[in-house]
Structure 1
Amino acid sequence: MKAWQQWLGLAARVGLGAAFLAAGAIKVTDLAASARAVNAYQLMPWEMAQFVGVVQPVLEIGVGLLLLAGLATRLAASLAALAMVAFIAGIASAWARGLSIDCGCFSRGGTLPVGQNPNYAWDIARDVALLALAIYLVVFPVTKYSLDRRMS
């Protein structure tokens, strides 16, 4: 592996890890709001939205920490990629159905007030970029300054 690929991997790992850690940290402080944000997508029953709303921030924090540490990088990046695909599909679904919601990606989310419009194109573009970082790390998990390197 070329040195520049390891540096690019480090940047991808830190960027994606920080994004997941920040998203989870925002939500974990108010799990009821997290459940309401999941419920706003209208894709599952309330009980399931409550479960997802509690589990999602914890998983985001876990994936973020693994990525920042460079531990189990391929696994963490794979989980991040799956999450990004689910987030993109959820946002696209909300957009296609004409819902007016805050995606809840880096906020507590939920239904937007009347007159406030969501920016779904931006949300999807950002998530596609994060998905690209995750895919890069699945393919090239060896990066500078990772615990994976020290353990191998």
Structure 2
Amino acid sequence: MLRLLLHFFFGGVFVYAGILKAADPMSFLDDIRSFDLLGDPWAAWLAMGLPWLEILAGLAVMSGVLRSGGLLVLNGSLLVFLAAISISWGRGIDIRCGCFGHADATSNYRDLILRDILLLIGGLVLVWHGKPRSKA
């Protein structure tokens, strides 16, 4: 039961975040540009595609249909997010994360990194506990 709740929480976070981004892709594009890591048209493609990837992968984790693929995508995304946040922090750039829709204020690096690490731990726990146990 606890594992099912964790699947719903973990997947639901990404479904929710993806819906907020998909509802306002231009604002999400501005947030992506604040990282100063991708130029156009790559930033625009990311702004259009990432929300739907998060929604579909989150639904996969929640529903159990292609769950392992959804976990792979979301855990991989968290690693990329952590790298992008860390690089921007190291460069001293004030970013707007855009993680849960557009925000006017700059983001707190420590909070973003802590949140993503906690989510990654949750995602890795789901991967670990989803593996079949050997019958030795």
The TM-score, its normalising length taken from structure 1, stands at 0.79
- In 1, are the aligned partners of 2:82 and 2:116 still within 8 Å (CA)? yes
Gapped runs of 5+ residues in structure 2? Answer: 132-136
Larger radius of gyration: 1
Match of 1:75 in 2: 69
Among 90, 94, 117, the alignment partner of 2:88 is 94
Structure 1 unpaired stretches of 5+: 1-6, 143-152
Deviation readout 1:34-58 (Å, 9 max, x if unpaired): 2221121111112100000100001
Distance 1:8 1:74 in 2: 18
**Which structure is richer in relative contact order (CA contacts within 8 A, separation 6 or more)?**
1
Please list the CA deviations of residues 65-106 of structure 1 after superposition, one character each: whole Å capped at 9, or x if unmatched: 111212221111111100000111111111111111121111
Correspondences of 1:1-152 after superposition (within 5 Å):
7-109=1-103, 118-141=107-130
Identity %: 28
Once the two structures are superposed, residues 92-133 of structure 1 have per-residue CA deviations (whole angstroms, 9 ceiling, x without a partner) of 111111111121111225xx5xxx553110111010111111
| Alpha-carbon distance in 2 for matches of 1:23, 1:65 | 12
How does the TM-score come out when normalised to structure 2? 0.88
Distance in 1 of aligned mates of 2:127 and 2:7:
10
In 2, distance between residues paired with 1:117 and 1:106?
A: 13
Q: Which runs of 4+ in 1 moved over 6 A?
A: none
Aligned residues: 131
